[in-house]
Each structure stands twice: as structure tokens, then as C-alpha cells.
Amino acid sequence: MIKYKKGFEISIRLIVIVIVAIAFIFLMMSLARNSFKASGEKVTEIISSLSIPGPKVKISISSDFYEVGDNITFDGSFSYDNLYPITDYFWYFGDGLPGVRGTAKTSRIYYEPGDYNVTLKVLNKKGGLGVGSVIVRIFTKNQKNKNMYENNPIFIIPDKTDNWRDILQIVPLTNWYSKDMPDYIHEYPFIVYYNPTLIFNNNAVKEILGRYNSSRIAYVFDSPNVNDEVYGDKSIKKISLSLSDYTSFWNSTSIKSVVIVDYNDKDSALIASLFAGYYNAPLFFVNTGNLNSYKDYIKGKTIYIIPELDALDETTKIFVLNNTKDNKQYSVAQLKNGTVNRIVNLNSEIAIK
């Protein structure tokens, strides 16, 4: 039996512990990489060394506006590691399917509307792991009725006491995002006419149309003293704010989503109108008193509720929960911190005379 000095015996034990620790680290790194044999292979879990700093992960997306069926590009190439080379990218798309090992850039198609939390996990050569994520919002496709926009329309409504709902419902008729336009924006003039000393009639409408050199049609809402008229290359069309007239600006079979706000929620109404315009959806102000009129337009649809489901009265809330395909809730604060920074640019040529 060989005897060692006590200090030397402690050193041997320390060396053994270090060797075991190093072996464990290499084993974990091996598991992290060798468990994936090819790019694109499904991923369920990543094992890494928590003691090694991981890369800084950055994800950029190709647009701020997505619809069901769009091919969305995700770019993680701006991720970096100042210490070790990056070796692997693992993408998780938030749709319930397994993650995928791939390259810094990838793409995905979503077939259902919703908010998806897309996560990128980046591994470096030493097994260090970095994680980043981004929320992707997918909306249903609604399509406008192009026949209503053939004659370059102007939208006009007189300003009356307490007709704020009527005014704001017109916003998504005059401004909306769509993939078929440069910059994705459709814009048409929207004029809120105010002159308490005059009767709002055809002469007032002609005065407005006279400011435009090109042929135009004026859609005039909520104006009992206005009548249909054609003169020269311009025309006047009286439109009611009935649900049938209002929704006629969309292809009826294409309306898959609507935005609803409580009938008396004036505080949320403005941002809801911008939101509806941004996502090309009809805007409805609903409560128990008028719910029956809206049921056929809400049933089976994806519903975007501003600001939240609990803001609706109990009868409306129960109907939405039991009769819609899906419902999404966005608070005013959420929209102000996100989408609203972009949709405020949709304000059309709004004039107050």
C-alpha cells in the first residue's frame, strides 16, 4: 500500500473532480449537437452548459402586417457572440409543432389567425445558449368590394351631436391595409362637414366635389337633405349607415373578422377605428340593446375586442363566447405601445369645414 502526504492526496482528489466536471461539460455539448443529425430536423429540447455565456439573440421579421397564408421570413443573422463562434439555430414557431434546427434565416406560414410567440435559441461552439423571441400577429383576410371604389370616392358625413360612432365607423372604409397596394395602404378622402348656419344638401356636397379636378363620386352618410345626383363627371350617392349598406363595402363572403367595441365606450372608440382600418375589418358598436341586429354579422367570425371581453355587457359577452370562431382582446395600452404607432399614419384627408 502506497502512502501519500495529506496535501498531495487532497490535490489528487481536486484533479479528479476537475476532470469529471470537464467530462460532464463535453458530454452536455455532445448531447446538444449530436442529438440533431441534419438541418431541419425536429427539435424537442436543447441541453447546454449554463456556465458558459451564450450568444446575444436578435430576431427581425419581414413586415409588421401579416395575414393567414403569408410566407413570413424570420432573420436571426444579427445574433452575435463575442467569445465563441455560433454553431446552431433552433426555431420554435409557437404553433404547437416541434421546433426546427435550421439556419439563421427561416420562414413559416400560419393558417390560423392569432398571436404566435416565435422563439430562437442560438448555441455557440462551447455549448453556451442564447434565447430571443418575438410576437407575430396573424389576421384573417377581408376583401373590399372593388365596385364601391371604382369612381375614386370621397366620403362625407355631417358633424352632428353625438354621431361619433357613425363618424368612426367610416374610418375603415376610407383607410386600410391590403397586400394589393404599394406600401399596403389604401387611402380615400374623408370629410366631416360642419357648418351650423347651412343646411347640408346637394349644393354643399357639390361645393366639396368642386375642389377636385378628377371624376369623383361622393358617398354621403346620414344626410336626409341629400339625394342621388349625377352631373358632369361627378356624382352624389346617398348612403345609410344600415348594416347592409355599411358591410356592402366589403365582399360579403370575405368578411371573416370584425372589430367590436361596447356601444358606450367612447374612450376606446378612436383607436378601435384605426385598428379596424389597419386590419380592413368592419367596426361595430354593440350592446344588449342592438345585439340582435349584429348577431348574423358576428356569428362564426374571428372577433377583435377593444379593449377586452369583460368591457362588454354580460349578454353580448356570452353571445361572443358561444357563437364566434375565435376572439382576440387588445387593450388601448397594447395598441398605443405597438400597432397604433403605425396605424396613425393611415389618417386620410380628413377635413372639417
Residues 6 or more apart in contact with residue 244 via CB below 8 angstroms: none
Q: pLDDT value at position 199?
A: 83
φ, ψ dihedrals at 57, nearest 5°: -100, 130
Q: pLDDT value at position 244?
A: 93
Q: Domains in the chain, start-ordered, CATH in brackets?
A: 27-138 (2.60.40.10), 146-352 (no CATH)
Per residue of the chain (353 residues), give pLDDT as tens: 434 344 434 344 444 444 444 443 333 334 334 333 334 455 445 555 557 889 999 999 977 678 888 899 999 999 999 999 999 999 999 998 999 998 999 999 998 888 899 999 999 999 999 999 999 988 877 889 999 999 999 999 988 888 999 999 999 999 987 766 656 688 999 999 887 777 889 999 999 999 988 899 999 998 999 999 999 999 999 999 899 999 999 998 889 899 999 999 999 999 999 999 888 999 999 999 999 999 999 999 999 999 999 999 999 999 999 999 888 898 888 887 654 444 444 443 444 33
Residues in a beta bridge with 109? 71
Q: pLDDT value at position 353?
A: 37
Distances (CA, A) of 313 to 266, 270, 296, 297: 15, 20, 18, 18
Going by their DSSP bridges, the two strands 302-305 and 257-262 should be labelled as parallel
Do the beta carbons of residue 256 and residue 302 sit within 8 Å? yes
Q: pLDDT value at position 334?
A: 81
The grid cell for 183 is 406600401
Task: Map residue 192 onto helix, strand or coil.
Answer: strand
Residues 6 or more apart in contact with residue 107 via CB below 8 angstroms: 71, 72, 73, 74
Torsion of CA 119, 124, 130, 134, to 10 degrees: -30
The grid cell for 261 is 367595441
Task: Kindly report the pTM of this predicted structure.
Answer: 0.69
b/e map 56-87, b = 16+ CB within 10 Å? ebbbeeeeeebbbebebebbbeebebeebebb
Q: Count CB neighbours of 16 within 10 A.
A: 10
In angstroms, the CA 187 to CA 181 distance is 10
Task: Map residue 239 onto helix, strand or coil.
Answer: strand
Q: What single string gives the DSSP state of each residue in 242-280?
A: SHHHHHTTB-GGG--EEEEEETT-HHHHHHHHHHHHHTT
Q: pLDDT value at position 324?
A: 92
Task: Map residue 226 onto helix, strand or coil.
Answer: coil
Q: pLDDT value at position 181?
A: 64
Q: pLDDT value at position 203?
A: 93
